[in-house]
Amino acid sequence: MTTEKKAEKKPEYIKVEIARPRAYKWSSGKYLGKLYKEALENRKLVTNRCPKCKQLLWPPAGVCGRCNVEAGEDWVVMSGEGTVLQYTYLVFPLWDPHYGDRLANPYPTATIKLDDGVFLVHFLEEKDPEKLKNVKRVQAVWKEEGRGRGLGDILYFRTIDE
Amino acid sequence: MGNRVAIVGIGQTYHKSNRKDVTQPEMVAEAVRAALTDAQMKPKDVEAVFTSNMETFEGMYLPDHMMVDEVGAFMKPGLKVNTGGTTGASVVEEGFHFVASGLFDTALVIGFEKQDCGDTTAAITAAVTPVWGKGVATGAIGEFAKQALTYMQKTGAKEEHAAMIRLKADKGACKNPYAHLKLGLKSIEEVLNSGYLVWPLRLLDFCPQSVGACALILASEHKAKKITKKPVWIADVVTVHQEPFRAGSFGDPTGTEEYSQDIAAERLYKRNGITNPTKDICMAEIYEPSNWEEMSHYEHYHFCEKNEGWKMVEKGITEMEGAFPVNPSGGVIATNPIGATPTIRVAEAALQVRGDAGEHQVTRDVHTAMATALGGPNWTVVTLLKRSL
C-alpha cells in the first residue's frame, strides 16, 4: 500500500483552472408544465390524483408508480398550508453551485407536510433559531417577481399563529 | 448461486483533501499497484477491469477512458458503473457477479474520487431534477442535518452520543495509515465545542471531502487458492434500490416509509442463516457520512432494537475492543473519497477477516464481516465476507 512521499526538490505542480458555465434547457412535460402554469398565472399549487388508488401524486406525474397505471387529468388544487416536520438552517454560509449566489446564513429550510398529504422541502420566513424550534403551522407566500419557476414561485412559508 | 469468489488483493491510497502531485489516473494507479503487489500479481494476470466513481463530480464524463493505461485495462473487457453513493460497492458486486458467472477468473475492481478537481456539493445538488426542487437543495449536508434532528427527537439521543461516535472514529483513524482526518481528539467536549455548520450538525459531525482510490482483485475459487493463503470469500451481496422517500432524500421524518437498509439487511440475514447479527457477524464497516447517521444505521441494520442505537455507543459495544466493532478504520466521517468510500468499506472489512488490519485490527476474532454502502437517494448495498465458506 502507498504512503505519502515528500519530494526532494519541489516540482512544479499546476492546478488547471477550468471555469466553464453550463446552460441546460429542461423540459417540464405536460404534468409538471401544469404545475408551473398554475403557479405562475394563478398562484395555486396543483397536482393530479391516481385514478386507481386515489392518492395524490407529487410532483404531478404521468404514471402512478405504486399502481403502475396512467395517472390522467384528475387535478386537485392544494391549500398551500402545512406542518413543519424537520428543519435546518445554515450556520456557515454556502454557495449556490448552480447560480453562483451566496446562500447567506441562516437560510432556513424545512420538510413540510401539506394539509393535502404531500411533502415538500422549502424555505421558512422565520430566521430566529430560537423561534424556529416552535414553528409548526405554515403557509405559502408567493413571490411578486422572478416568477415562472414552479415551486420556486413560492418565496417561503410563513408561520401561521394559532 | 454461481462459482465461489474471493478477494485476493487489497490496495488503497493515502487520503488528503488535495493532491496536486498526481492526475486522477495516476492516483488510481497507486491503488491498483498496491492491490497487485498485495496479490503478487502482474497486470497481465488480470482478465477484466471494472471502475467506478461519481461521474461528473470532477466535471468529466467517462473518466474511465483516460485511465485505461494506468489501471492495466488496455484491450481488456470491463465496465464503468455509477449508482450514486453506493457506486464503490456496486463495482465490487459487478466484479463478483462476473467472476461468479465463470466468465472471468480474475477481475480488478476500482473505486476512486479526486474531489479537489471539482465541486462535490454542486454535483450532488445536480441530482435534484432541475424542474423540481432546484434551488432549495444544499447538497448532502442539509439532508443529513434534518435527519440528525429527527433522530434526536425520536430516540432521545443527545449530542454527547454523537460526540462519542466521533471520538471512536478518530481513535480508529489515528491508527489507520490510510485515513484522512487524524485529529487526535481527547474528549467529547472537543467535539461539542466545534462550531455548527448546518444546524444541528457541527463541523466535526460530518465527513470531509477526500481524494483517494481503492482497488480489489477478485478471483474464482481455483485461482484464489493459487494466488493467496488468505482468500476472503464474498459470501453474498444484496442491493436494494428505492426511490427517494416522499418526504426526504435519505431519511423519513414521517416514520411511515420502509428503509432500503432494513430490507437489504433482512434479505442478507435470511439468505445466509444469520439470526443474531451482532453474534453471527463479528464486525461491520458501515457507510456513515455523519456520526448521527451511524447510530441510525445500527438500528436499520438490526444491530440493536429500534431507537436504541445511541445505547450501543454508550455501552462501548461498537468500539475496536467491543463485542461488535463498527468502523475501526475511522469510517467515512474520517475519510470520504466518495466513489472509493464503499470499496474501502469492503477492503477494510476484508483486512479484518484476514487479520491484516494492523494497529486497528479489532480484538474480536473476525471470521465474518459486513460492509455497507449508502447512496442515493436511499439505495443500499450490503456485502458479507467470510474467512471460509
Q: Evaluate whether A84 touches B150 at the Cβ level (below 8 Å).
A: no
Provide mean pLDDT across the span A118-128.
91
Asked if the C-beta of B118 comes within 8 angstroms of chain A's C-beta atoms, the answer is no
Q: Which three cell numbers stand for residue B204?
A: 466535526
> Could you tell me which residue, A150 or A158, shows the higher pLDDT?
A158
Q: Which residue of B has its CA nearest to A130?
A: B199
- Say if residue A104 is in the same domain as residue A120: yes
The span from the CA of B324 to the CA of B168, in Å, is: 13
- Say if residue A127 is in the same domain as residue A68: no
- Say if residue A50 is in the same domain as residue A120: no
Asked if the C-beta of B354 comes within 8 angstroms of chain A's C-beta atoms, the answer is no
The span from the CA of B305 to the CA of B274, in Å, is: 16
- Say if residue A84 is in the same domain as residue A73: no
Residue position matching grid coordinates 496479490: B39
Asked if the C-beta of B255 comes within 8 angstroms of chain A's C-beta atoms, the answer is no
Rounded (10°) CA dihedral B126, B128, B129, B132: -130
A66: containing domain:
27-78
- Say if residue A67 is in the same domain as residue A100: no
**What per-residue confidence (pLDDT) applies to B124?**
75
The span from the CA of A114 to the CA of A111, in Å, is: 10
Q: Which of A99-103, A105-109, A111-115, B145-149 has the lowest mean pLDDT?
A: A99-103
Q: Which chain A residues have a beta carbon less than 8 Å from that of B13?
A: 2
Select the residue of A11, A14, A88 nearest B149 (Cβ to Cβ). A88
Residue B95: partners with Cβ closer than 8 Å, 6 or more residues away:
B5, B48, B50, B107, B108, B109, B216, B218
Q: How many CB atoms lie within 10 A of CB A47?
A: 24
pLDDT band, residue A2 (cuts 50/70/90): low
Paired sense of beta strands A154-159 and B211-220, if any: unpaired
Contact A103 B138 (CB under 8 A): yes
What are the tens digits of pLDDT across the range B167-209?
Answer: 999 999 999 999 999 999 999 999 999 999 999 999 999 999 9
Residue A13 in any domain: the answer is: no
Q: Which chain A residues have a beta carbon less than 8 Å from that of B149?
A: 86-88
Contact B243 A86 (CB under 8 A): no
Last residue of a domain, one of A63, A78, A93: A78
Give A24 to chain B, closest Cα distance, Å. Answer: 9
Number of domains comprising chain A: 2
- Say if residue A72 is in the same domain as residue A85: no
Opening angle at CA B380, ends B296 and B53, nearest 5? 115
Provide mean pLDDT across the span A32-55.
95
Q: Domain of A103: which CATH number?
A: 2.40.50
Tell me B329's DSSP state: T
**What per-residue confidence (pLDDT) applies to B130?**
65
Residue position matching grid coordinates 487520503: B15
Residue A15 in any domain: the answer is: no
Residue A100 in any domain: the answer is: yes
> Could you tell me which residue, B211 or A66, shows the higher pLDDT?
B211
**Helices (DSSP H) in chain B: which residue ranges?**
24-39, 87-100, 120-125, 139-155, 159-175, 188-192, 221-227, 260-271, 277-280, 291-300, 309-314, 341-354
- Say if residue A132 is in the same domain as residue A94: yes
The span from the CA of A38 to the CA of B150, in Å, is: 33
Residue A11 in any domain: the answer is: no
Tell me B110's DSSP state: E
Q: How high is the ipTM of this complex?
A: 0.77
The span from the CA of A2 to the CA of B338, in Å, is: 19
pLDDT band, residue B165 (cuts 50/70/90): very high
Contact A88 B142 (CB under 8 A): yes
Last residue of a domain, one of A35, A61, A78: A78
pLDDT at A98 over 80: no
Fold of B5-120+209-227: Peroxisomal Thiolase; Chain A, domain 1 (3.40.47)
- Say if residue A70 is in the same domain as residue A115: no
Domain boundaries, chain B: 5-120+209-227
What are the tens digits of pLDDT across the range B282-315?
Answer: 999 999 999 999 999 999 999 999 999 999 999 9
Instruction: Kindly report the length of chain A.
Output: 162
pLDDT at A99 over 60: no
Residue A107 in any domain: the answer is: yes
Q: Which chain A residues have a beta carbon less than 8 Å from that of B131?
A: 26-28, 32, 36, 150
What are the tens digits of pLDDT across the range B62-92?
Answer: 888 899 999 999 999 999 999 989 999 999 9
**What per-residue confidence (pLDDT) applies to A13?**
84
Q: Evaluate whether B312 touches B299 at the Cβ level (below 8 Å).
A: no
